[in-house]
Structure 1
Amino acid sequence: MTAGFAGGWRSRSPRANEGAGAGLAHVRGAAPPPRIDEIPRRPLCLLQGYGGLHHSCGDLYFPRSVEQLRALFRMAKQTGRRITFRAGGQSFDGQALNDDVMISMSRFDSIEVDAERARMTVGAGATWGAIARKLAARGFVPYTAVSTSYATAGGTVSGGCLSRFSGTAGKEGSYVERLTLLTTDGQLLSLSRDEPTSALFHAVIGGLGYLGAVIDITYRVARVAPAGTPIRVVTQATRYASFEELAEALVPPPELLLPAEGGTADEAGWIPEALFSVAFQTLEGSRSMVLRSRYVAGTSLVLRPLLTHRPRHLLRVPVEWLMRASVVSRAIWTIIDRFIFDVTRPYVDELMGYMFFMDGNVLAKRIAQGFGMRMFTVQQSFMIPYDAGAREESLRRLADFLRTIEEIAARDGIPPLMFDVLHIQGDRFLLSANHGTDGFAVTLAFEAWDEDSVCRIRLRLSELSAHTLELGGRVYLVKNVYATPEQLEAMYAHALPEFVRLKQLADPDGLLRNEFLERVFPAHFRPAPRLARR
């Protein structure tokens, strides 16, 4: 492996967050490695994915330093155990679950903001809620961040995640300048998009944690207000009568788009705007609209928040529960559409409520679990390709796909709670659904109480996965993934050989793997034998 990393992948010198004793001399030479029994652990810990459908029971460790991580890697190699990283627990599928060893990165939670350079460096376990609060106090926002405050930077960078601002700003990885990766043989590497580390950099972002432990990440951030000034978000909604009109409105004008991956957009004063659509089923049929949001500094605009952007509103939890029954869901959407949603005036939200609107769903699930109720959430995203040179054909293809969603929902009587669409620019990240191609990200969100409904939802999502492949698109690997291995192999044929090559270099013993990886790409990652725990 050392030979594979030769030629410029530089190792980092010890940092403060590597542990208090990481660089200290020992009376007989180097400091002794930490013992495994010194690392906090929850044995046979039962965990589940965010959607409530995937579970695991394994040993969960909470290392505090790079040296403790190295000790866990050595233990796994010596005993033949398998490792999966975890922190915020917000993965929809089994990406962060494992019946063997799980490592929580939650204690790597440092946040450092460089206001002069408009940069921040955060630990992998720092939550986006904590990050956003610290940035906002200094007048900054992330260029793009996921919609729950509980997700962590290490988790979202490993997913190459998108947000409502990705319609103009691209995905999270576009703003990563550097990250630190600990490989399973203990090398601490500093990676950037520049050669010679570019290949591994573009594989780790979106690589789902299978190439090593991300220790910290440096991002570019956007200044939108003077330090100490409140930040609000203004949103204007426009209704559309047809999917063709909706598709046309989702293609952003050139002046709104991210200039280039890894560019100096912040220095040019470029600030992203959100451009996305939502669609839902009422008792009178489907409704769709495009929303466009922008940041504003100060409190001159009177607050007029959307209910969905008030995660702790008194009605949020009961509405979340009621929406899981399809007839009730359509009735509630009918009331919202007729009497509550007003497109004649813009909405004005507090920054945190707008950014982390899914926290209301998290709260509803936690309260339900406290009463012994099971709440299932299923979300799957599809990338439908877009070619600016064949604009009309691309827009027609998207409109046809959206109609197919409606037809499938009508057939089973289980419509998605809602689905959203946004334009995504192509990128270079290896396992990105937008690798090398622009496209539309179409995300379907389902909520259910019973496993029978979930079974039917899975079948319909699998059907849409097959249709996506026919259109030349891909299934996004970060949410639920209901597609056959053959379909996924075809969708990611451009990336898998290179990803496997890099994984063999960074993780030659195959320590970083779990059921999810083996399920989606079984031709490359065969199930490993399960060894008895010690």
Structure 2
Amino acid sequence: MSAGCKQCRGVTRCGRFSFALFLLASMELRFFAMTTTTSSVPNPRRAVLTGWGRYPLSESDVYRPDRISELRAVVTGNSSSLIARGAGRAYGDAALNDQNRVVDLTRLNRMLSFDPTSGLLRCEAGVTIAELIDVFLPRGFFPPVTPGTRFVTLGGSVAADVHGKNHHRDSSLAAHVTSFDLMVASGEVLRCSREENSSLFWATVGGMGLTGVILELELRMRRVESAYLEGELIRVGNVDAAIEAFERTEAQYGYSVAWIDCNSGKSKLGRSVLNLGNFATLDALPQNLAQNPLSTMPKLSPIVPFDFPGFAQNSLSVRAFNAAIYATHREKPHTIFDWESFFYPLDSIRHWNRIYGKRGFVQYQCVWPLDESRTGLVEVLEAIARSRRGSFLTVLKKFGAQDGMLSFPMPGYTLALDFPVADGLLEFLDTLDAMVLKRGGRVYLAKDARMAPETFRAMYPNLKNWQAAKAVADPDNRFSSSLSRRLGMCPA
């Protein structure tokens, strides 16, 4: 634990921060005690699980250990397959293991140490990004990469190698993780980094939890001066103008994302609203915000109280929603966003997945290489418009470089869409797969619930290298999931 309070200015702040460090040190001692005791296998509960898309459903024995010794007993104490699960925010079946075992890691959520000089945080895998923000944003630090929801665990985020609105500049989460401890099938704990067990490091990053259970990790947090972003809002009339705006502003803004209308056709195909920004410095804030620049006051969060009926999701309602979004967003050449509305607009609506009804929805996210992105986008958007299966929420981002063996991003543009589960949907998504694959693209495993194994193998050329690394850590394929079996990821 770093005694970083020497860097504080002012007795009050220093005392408060020293107390926080004392609490973190106490957690570290508690963690050490837990790892040195033996424990029997905790009793599981039988439960029906699903991802955030609520499709598909899965029944499993769920274990919820709060000690590393209990977790080791679960991993080694039964021959049936096992998959780790965090907050359950993966959309498809990556954290499901139908008729087998699931281990819930949300109790292993202790923050172990933090060095405010370097920004290095060590914590357990069950810590969520929301918890990081609650603790560290008031102290001037923010997660280096965050997906579109903060209610995800860090272990799950590493397993999916999540990306954010800054991928074009800062890559995915793995670029900011210096190391992690991984419990493999034998119960042994291996330290993995770029220098130590490096093949296992890159197989675990984006490996969907199939190499072992991430216990704790070291992450470099980003120093910020405020909880606000300074940027602009740009409204463009079609997909070509959207790409031009991304390219024109890429060097200026570290964070960029576009809502895109997937229902308009012809000259309006792909009309978009872009949100662009950088974390604001103190000098850039208006006086009323500069007085408390790191405020994280919670907002009122409305709740969707029940499942919407199936007929609420139809081509007319989706078209009307998209038209309203485009009409109500005006260009703002200079604006200030608060962190919550910029990064997590959907988090402000609790249980928003109920909008899609009891049958749930499938989120489809694909990426194309840079030189194929424009053509690929047009093909997919035109196919969606013809199908009349419009998406309420469609997001466009630009990706940069990537390293993980099974990581999703590649340099190019990525499109994410939500489709309510309905007759013929899966077959329609197969046609989108073929379009994406033809252009050298791929589909995101953390959001997949239906891709065919042959499509997966064609989209992920590093699969054999990943399988070789997995075989070393898990020779008997103890770690398995509904996703891995559906896609044939693991050798027989």
TM range (shorter): 0.7 to 0.9
Aligned in 2, Cα 1:401/1:433: closer, same or farther, shift over 3 Å?
A: same
Residue 264 of structure 1 corresponds to none
| 1:72 counterpart letter in structure 2 | V
Question: Where in structure 2 are the equivalents of 1:34-433 lying within 5 Å?
Answer: 34-36=39-41, 39=42, 41-42=44-45, 44-76=46-78, 80-98=79-97, 99-111=99-111, 112-194=113-195, 196-225=196-225, 230-251=226-247, 255=251, 273-281=254-262, 286=269, 287-297=271-281, 300=286, 312=300, 314=302, 324-338=313-327, 340-360=328-348, 362-365=350-353, 374=358, 376-386=360-370, 394=371, 397-433=372-408
Residues 1:441 and 2:441 aligned together? no
> Which of 463, 478, 491 does residue 496 from structure 1 map onto?
463
Q: Tell me, what secondary structure is at the counterpart of 1:422?
A: strand
> How many Å separate the matches in 2 of 1:311 and 1:58?
36
Give unmatched runs, 5+ long, in structure 1. Answer: 1-14, 24-30, 257-271, 304-309, 387-393, 527-534
Aligned-residue identity in percent: 21
Q: Tell me, what secondary structure is at the counterpart of 1:117?
A: coil
Shift of 1:138: 0.9
| 2:254 counterpart letter in structure 1 | E
> How many Å separate the matches in 2 of 1:410 and 1:274?
29
> How many Å separate the matches in 2 of 1:207 and 1:375?
28
Show CA shifts across 1:180-207 (max 9, x none): 111111211111112x422111111111
| 2:219 counterpart letter in structure 1 | Y
Q: Which moved more, 1:107-116 or 1:215-224?
A: 107-116
Aligned in 2, Cα 1:332/1:427: closer, same or farther, shift over 3 Å?
A: closer
> How many Å separate the matches in 2 of 1:103 and 1:220?
27
| 1:105 counterpart letter in structure 2 | L
Shift of 1:147: 1.9
> How many Å separate the matches in 1 of 2:449 and 2:57?
15
> How many Å separate the matches in 2 of 1:476 and 1:463?
16
Aligned in 2, Cα 1:231/1:40: closer, same or farther, shift over 3 Å?
A: farther
Q: Tell me, what secondary structure is at the counterpart of 2:351?
A: helix
Show CA shifts across 1:267-324 (max 9, x none): xxxxx72122221156795521332122125562778xxxxxx984559889998973
> How many Å separate the matches in 1 of 2:150 and 2:91?
15
Shift of 1:19: 5.6
Q: Is the 8 A contact 2:346 2:352 kept in 1?
A: no
> How many Å separate the matches in 2 of 1:253 and 1:345?
12
| 1:133 counterpart letter in structure 2 | D
Q: Is the 8 A contact 1:247 1:398 kept in 2?
A: no
Residue 18 of structure 2 corresponds to none
Aligned in 2, Cα 1:485/1:128: closer, same or farther, shift over 3 Å?
A: same
> How many Å separate the matches in 2 of 1:167 and 1:18?
37
Q: Is the 8 A contact 2:302 2:350 kept in 1?
A: no
Shift of 1:337: 2.4
Aligned in 2, Cα 1:314/1:508: closer, same or farther, shift over 3 Å?
A: closer
Runs of 4+ off more than 6 Å: 315-323
Q: Tell me, what secondary structure is at the counterpart of 1:431?
A: coil
Show CA shifts across 1:235-270 (max 9, x none): 4122223322322332377756xxxxxxxxxxxxxx
Shift of 1:497: 1.5
Aligned in 2, Cα 1:22/1:483: closer, same or farther, shift over 3 Å?
A: closer
> How many Å separate the matches in 1 of 2:146 and 2:100?
31
Q: Tell me, what secondary structure is at the counterpart of 2:332?
A: coil
Shift of 1:346: 4.1
Q: Is the 8 A contact 1:168 1:423 kept in 2?
A: no
Q: Which moved more, 1:311-320 or 1:200-209?
A: 311-320
Q: Tell me, what secondary structure is at the counterpart of 2:445?
A: coil
Q: Is the 8 A contact 1:385 1:439 kept in 2?
A: yes
Aligned in 2, Cα 1:385/1:276: closer, same or farther, shift over 3 Å?
A: same
Q: Is the 8 A contact 2:180 2:192 kept in 1?
A: yes
Q: Is the 8 A contact 1:235 1:294 kept in 2?
A: yes
Give unmatched runs, 5+ long, in structure 2. Answer: 1-27, 290-297
Show CA shifts across 1:433-458 (max 9, x none): 34xx5222222223x3xx4x2x4332
> Which of 421, 427, 449 does residue 459 from structure 1 map onto?
427
Show CA shifts across 1:55-102 (max 9, x none): 2111111112221111112212xxx21101112010111110112111
Q: Is the 8 A contact 2:234 2:333 kept in 1?
A: no
> How many Å separate the matches in 2 of 1:402 and 1:217?
36
> How many Å separate the matches in 2 of 1:311 and 1:365?
20
Q: Is the 8 A contact 2:181 2:190 kept in 1?
A: yes
Aligned in 2, Cα 1:74/1:140: closer, same or farther, shift over 3 Å?
A: same
Q: Tell me, what secondary structure is at the counterpart of 1:250?
A: helix
Q: Tell me, what secondary structure is at the counterpart of 1:130?
A: helix
TM-score, length of structure 2 as denominator length:
0.83
Aligned in 2, Cα 1:16/1:180: closer, same or farther, shift over 3 Å?
A: farther
Q: Is the 8 A contact 2:86 2:153 kept in 1?
A: yes
> How many Å separate the matches in 2 of 1:375 and 1:165?
33
Q: Tell me, what secondary structure is at the counterpart of 1:478?
A: helix
Residue 13 of structure 2 corresponds to none
| 2:366 counterpart letter in structure 1 | F
Show CA shifts across 1:9-64 (max 9, x none): xxxxxx746563533xxxxxxx6x3112xx2532x111111101112111111112
> How many Å separate the matches in 1 of 2:335 and 2:305?
22
Aligned in 2, Cα 1:17/1:474: closer, same or farther, shift over 3 Å?
A: farther
| 2:274 counterpart letter in structure 1 | V
Shift of 1:344: 3.2
Q: Is the 8 A contact 1:58 1:102 kept in 2?
A: yes
